[in-house]
Amino acid sequence: MPILPSRADYLVLDTDVASRILRGRLSGPPAAAVLGRRWCVTFVTVGELWRWSGTRRWGPRARRELEDWLRAVVVLPYGEHVAQIWGEISAAADLRGRPRPINDTWVAACCLARGLPLVTGNVKDYFDFVEHEGLRLVGS
């Protein structure tokens, strides 16, 4: 797990927010939330962005821009602690009768493992984790 100098400076971007930043289309409360913060993305977002680059047939220039952008953010990796949290929050959601999408659960687990807030445009996808697991959302 990477060590972050001051957690208060860091914010995890959900894939939808990262995508809007890459396209220069982030506005409203999410845009205000990311100002002056260090950006993190999870290993899941990296995978989703690369998937989009393939399915949307990005050219070499757009792929290079994605590579450059990813070098400028902190990528939160998978790890045993993250996997344990993922298992625990997945099971708890299942037992509540509210199974959550797998990738959203990984993103939430990465945030919870490091005590970092998430900025997303998809609040409904994470609200169960906010309500029951203590996930913090900002800019929503």
Residue 2: pLDDT band (50, 70, 90) is: low
Task: Specify if 67 maps to a domain.
Answer: yes
Q: What total number of domains does the chain contain? A: 1
Instruction: Say if residue 16's pLDDT is above 50.
Output: yes
pLDDT, tens digit (0-9, with 9 covering 90-100), for 25-83: 999 999 999 999 999 999 999 999 999 999 999 999 999 999 999 999 999 999 999 99
Task: Specify if 1 maps to a domain.
Answer: no
**Which of these ranges, 1-5, 81-85, 128-132, has the smallest mean pLDDT?**
1-5
Paired tokens of 46: 């990296």
Q: Which 3 state secondary structure label does DSSP give 128?
A: helix
Report which residue type is found at 93.
Answer: A
Instruction: Name the E strands within the chain.
Output: 10-13, 38-42, 74-76, 118-119
Q: How far is CA 108 from CA 56, 74, 83, 113, 132, in A?
A: 26, 16, 11, 8, 12
Q: By percentage, how much of the chain surpasses pLDDT 70?
A: 96
CATH code: domain of residue 129: 3.40.50.1010
Give the pTM. Answer: 0.91
Task: Specify if 19 maps to a domain.
Answer: yes
Task: Specify if 139 maps to a domain.
Answer: no
Residues 6+ apart with CB under 8 A from 29: 139, 140
Domain containing 49 equals 7-133
Question: What mean pLDDT is reported for the chain?
Answer: 93
Paired tokens of 60: 């070499």
Q: What is the model's pLDDT at position 6?
A: 55
Report which residue type is found at 21.
Answer: I
Task: Specify if 2 maps to a domain.
Answer: no
Instruction: Say if residue 5's pLDDT is above 50.
Output: no
Q: Which strands make up the sheet holding 118-119, listed edge to edge?
A: 74-76, 38-42, 10-13, 118-119
Q: What is the model's pLDDT at position 65?
A: 95
Q: What is the model's pLDDT at position 112?
A: 97
